Amino acid sequence: MIPSVPRELPGVESNVSTTRVVTGVGADAGSQRRWHLLDTAPLLAREGITPVGTIVAVHGNPTWSYLWRGLVAASLQRARAGGPAWRIVAVDQLEMGYSERTSLTRGLPQRIADLGAIIDDLDITGTLVTLGHDWGGPVSLGWAVRNRDRVDAVAVLNTAVHHPAGMPLPSALRVAGARSLLATTTVKTTAFLDTTLALADPPLAPDVRAAYRAPYASSELRRGIGAFVADIPATPDHPSTPALDELAGGLVDLTVPALLLRGPRDPVFGEHHLDDLARRLPHADIHRFEGAGHMLAEERPYADLVLDWLDDKGLSGGDHGDPVDRGIRAEEENAHDDAQPFVPIWQRLHDRRDDGDTAVVDLTRRVGGEPLDVSWNELAQRVDQLAAGFAAFGIRPGDRVSLLVQPGPTLTAVLYACLRIGAVVVVADRGLGIRGLSRAVRGTEPAFVVGEQAGLAAARALGWPGRRISAPNLPAPAARALGVEASLAEIAASGSRAAVPAPPSAHDEAAILFTSGSTGPAKGVVYTHAQLAALRDTLGAHFDVTPDVGLVTGFAPFALLGPALGTRSATPRMDVSAPRTLTASAVAEAVRASRARIVFLSPAAVANVCATADALTPDDRAALAQVRTFLSTGAPVSIDLLRQAHQLMPAAAAHTPYGMTECLLVTDVTLDELESAQQAPDAGVCVGTPIGSGTVRISALDDDGRATGDLSDTPHVTGEIVVSAPHLKRGYHRLWATDRDAVRGTQAHPGRWHRTGDVGHLDGEGRLWVEGRLPHVIVTTDGPVTPVGPEQQIESIDDVRRAAIVGVGPRGRQVCVAVVETMPGARRPGLAPSDLAERIRAASDTPVAAALVVPALPTDIRHNSKIDRSRLAAWAERVLAGAKPSAP
């Protein structure tokens, strides 16, 4: 049976859809089978364009070659613009789409042979890349494994080549594949087809949905859908199991470039399937499209990413790749190693293992009414015991371990024990919110989870992966309910009888630290051991941290660095996921208990510390008077807030370093330097000059508000802030495209850079001024406007507490709208009173089209201090369009 191919397909150019008769192979040998495919070769030939290679794209079930129309369009657009021209061959597998229906039941071995038959018939020569989705993944990869000498790269979207023994199939496949329901759900009705198409988010347009359904209009035409489901090897004795096992085992020898793309919201293929592929193809580049699902090709711009990747791998011919590649970055890391020998981050803890002095003070736990003190000797011993115990438990180098433990001695010991044996610690705090935290943890597919009871309960309820280890000793019923296999006490006891394994190397992955999620889904930032060591060295040298200094930190990213710096540390009583819960009395208590001379807090914490200063006793003030260095980072800090903090710690040099999760220390500025800069202030927040051997450059904004300029240190040029430092991250976890955009340098400035997404400028003295975030740049008819400068001008008004400038309208014709918090606060959100609006317009050098008031500006969930301008912009647009004002 041969379905009739329509003359036009929505979204597909004419002359791309074609048919071809191919001689069958394998069990189908000698037959003549009609294939339907999308093939751009005729169009390229007619336009005189020579392709650089061919991408053979294979759909899954129950889609067909129409799935790849976006790749067809993107490749033709680039070719016509003078870029690399790829021939796209997207096949309809036999029994599917508009290809022939036959009487043969096609299992995986036959489908791989079928694909080979049409590739041979098309006489494809030169560079060849395979691309597959769903069950088209095993088919395309199966052909690649059998034809290593002919394939130059492989790529897949949401697929799998192995399903763990004992793990049930996804529910959708179990229902569809059940013997009693298989025919009903897949052949007799369109239930399986409809369910698959409904997975697309946003929903498919009606004409697209109709196009997908068209070749499956009758039960006879849907027999292939049922056969494909029936061919899923769910048991060892399934006929296709040997072929799938052969494929899975053969992937380890497939050394060509590989790209793994995934939509995490997939009810069919889970993170464990991606993790399995990553283990079999350890050199593969991976990109997860957060928020996307099974129908990834319909939900995200995968086609441009695939074509960019081929450029970067040098498969497109010519010099189309990014001037920065991983080889250059690795070369620079090695050069840094030669200049400065690597000292592991745990070395100073190890060096003080015989020291009975205090290493960590836990203000949240009491022993006889006093804070719990842990000595260097006790901490080092505990780290060694846990390290050996973790290894005996099965934690291996490279295994990811999610830490769901509050800051304190327990977390410190677990962290250093994991680092010591080469495990990769995953740190995502509760400040991300339960959904953000769950997304972060699941996205890393940890092999192990170490947690307190609340964290383990969340892991259980949300289905997080990983073997469970409890921080406390739990009653047996609770441990069983939470799936706990061992407690830390049991792990340490087993480790006391074992040796600590060999340490990892400098360039092994050490940690995945998650960003705040204030500008989109939180990203996992990967650090190596060398980069963590470089961070320790930079921090220690710049702030003169010595063993007798002591450190109090209410800022989670730095709460664990005390042992690495060889100095005692204390975390004050607070909820570390809510920095504004820290009080002045708690800081004084921590300083007194640890004899600390350095205090490190987030801006939100500083604000509440200053607000609660009236509760300080004379003893508290005397303790704070001993502090000699005060630091606040994580978000811009106003000079007035620094002055207030300095009054509480009058002997301290007040610093406000600038950094981000990707490079925790970039620049630094003191209160004295800020006072000096205020004599002739620039627009923005002054964050000082680079720390250590770090470098800061600016990529100028063009008229469309995009950072397209070369990297420059020319003063007073506004653009994206681009940084480089020895402690700069290695990359993002499974975000190839994001990492590619973030690390790119330029032809004139190759090297290992990070594009921060912040905008600002350098002044004549080399100081950096931050003017906002790149996504928040307002593009007006007069050009781009950065928000922080006009916000500062508006905040000079007496009864304005805080201000935000956002853009409303289409890009290029946006207008600036001011949204302000007032003193006293507005009772309800809405238009600002006319007199306030006039004062706002008069204060700002930038034209303000409208002014709105809110009881409180929305902030990010981790720092409680970064204004969420994107959320405000959407809210302001609704209000100005006439919607009833509600809280933003």
Note the pLDDT tens digit of each residue in 79-94: 999 999 999 999 999 9
pTM, two decimals, is 0.89
How open is the CA angle 760-764-766, to the nearest 5 degrees?
65
The long-range contacts involving 826-834, CB below 8 angstroms and separated by at least 24 positions, are: 826/853, 826/854, 826/855, 827/855, 828/855, 828/885, 829/853, 829/854, 829/855, 829/879, 829/885, 829/886, 829/887, 829/888, 830/879, 830/885, 831/879, 831/885
Question: Residues 322, 740: contact at Cβ < 8 Å?
Answer: yes
Cα-Cα-Cα-Cα dihedral sign, residues 150, 153, 156, 159? positive
pLDDT score recorded for residue 748:
56
- Whether 327 has a pLDDT exceeding 70, the answer reads no
pLDDT score recorded for residue 680:
82
Question: Residues 778, 816: contact at Cβ < 8 Å?
Answer: yes
pLDDT band at 323 (very low <50, low <70, confident <90, very high): very low
Mean pLDDT for the stretch of residues 644-669: 94
Mean pLDDT for the stretch of residues 810-814: 94
Separate counts of helices (H) and strands (E) for the chain: 32, 37
- Whether 756 has a pLDDT exceeding 90, the answer reads yes
Cα-Cα-Cα-Cα dihedral sign, residues 472, 477, 480, 482? negative
* Domain boundaries for CATH 3.40.50.1820 within the chain: 17-161+240-312
pLDDT score recorded for residue 783:
94
- Whether 330 has a pLDDT exceeding 70, the answer reads no
pLDDT score recorded for residue 749:
61
Mean pLDDT for the stretch of residues 837-865: 84
Identify which has the larger pLDDT, 442 or 771. Answer: 771
Mean pLDDT for the stretch of residues 407-426: 94
Mean pLDDT for the stretch of residues 347-375: 86
* Domain boundaries for CATH 3.40.50.12780 within the chain: 343-505
pLDDT score recorded for residue 554:
80
pLDDT score recorded for residue 123:
92
d(CA 382, CA 491): 10
- List strands edge to edge, sheet with 448-451: 484-487, 467-470, 448-451, 400-404, 424-427, 509-514, 524-528, 731-732
Say which CATH superfamily domain 343-505 falls into. ANL, N-terminal domain (3.40.50.12780)
List strand residue ranges (DSSP E) for 551-706, in order.
Answer: 551-553, 569-571, 598-601, 629-632, 653-655, 658-660, 663-668, 685-690, 695-701
pLDDT score recorded for residue 161:
92
User: Which of 65-69, 730-734, 819-823 holds the top average pLDDT?
Assistant: 65-69
- Whether 573 has a pLDDT exceeding 80, the answer reads yes
pLDDT score recorded for residue 320:
43
- Whether 215 has a pLDDT exceeding 50, the answer reads yes
Q: What is the DSSP letter of 188?
A: I
d(CA 858, CA 698): 29
Tokens, residue 207: 């004409």
pLDDT band at 336 (very low <50, low <70, confident <90, very high): very low
d(CA 311, CA 133): 21
pLDDT score recorded for residue 328:
39
d(CA 846, CA 484): 59
pLDDT score recorded for residue 331:
41
Predicted confidence (pLDDT) per residue in 255-288, tens digit: 999 999 999 999 989 888 999 999 999 999 999 9
Q: Which of 102-111, 183-192, 368-377 has the lowest mean pLDDT?
A: 368-377
326-339 and 529-542 helices cross at what angle (nearest 10)?
50
- Whether 864 has a pLDDT exceeding 70, the answer reads no
Question: Residues 22, 65: contact at Cβ < 8 Å?
Answer: no
Nearest to 153 by CA among 165, 167, 141: 141
pLDDT score recorded for residue 424:
97
- Whether 708 has a pLDDT exceeding 60, the answer reads yes
- Whether 332 has a pLDDT exceeding 50, the answer reads no
pLDDT band at 321 (very low <50, low <70, confident <90, very high): very low
Say which CATH superfamily domain 777-880 falls into. ANL, C-terminal domain (3.30.300.30)
pLDDT score recorded for residue 171:
59
- Whether 3 has a pLDDT exceeding 80, the answer reads yes
Three-state DSSP state, 157: strand
Question: Residues 50, 44: contact at Cβ < 8 Å?
Answer: yes
Give the Cβ contact number of residue 750 at 10 Å: 17
Mean pLDDT for the stretch of residues 801-826: 93
* Domain boundaries for CATH 3.30.300.30 within the chain: 777-880
Helices (H), 313-404: 326-339, 347-351, 376-393
Mean pLDDT for the stretch of residues 576-601: 88
Work out the percent of the chain whose per-residue pLDDT is above 70: 92
pLDDT score recorded for residue 744:
65
CATH of 17-161+240-312, one of 3.40.50.300, 3.60.10.10, 3.40.50.10190, 3.40.50.1820: 3.40.50.1820
d(CA 232, CA 127): 31
Task: Report the mean per-residue pLDDT for the chain.
Answer: 90
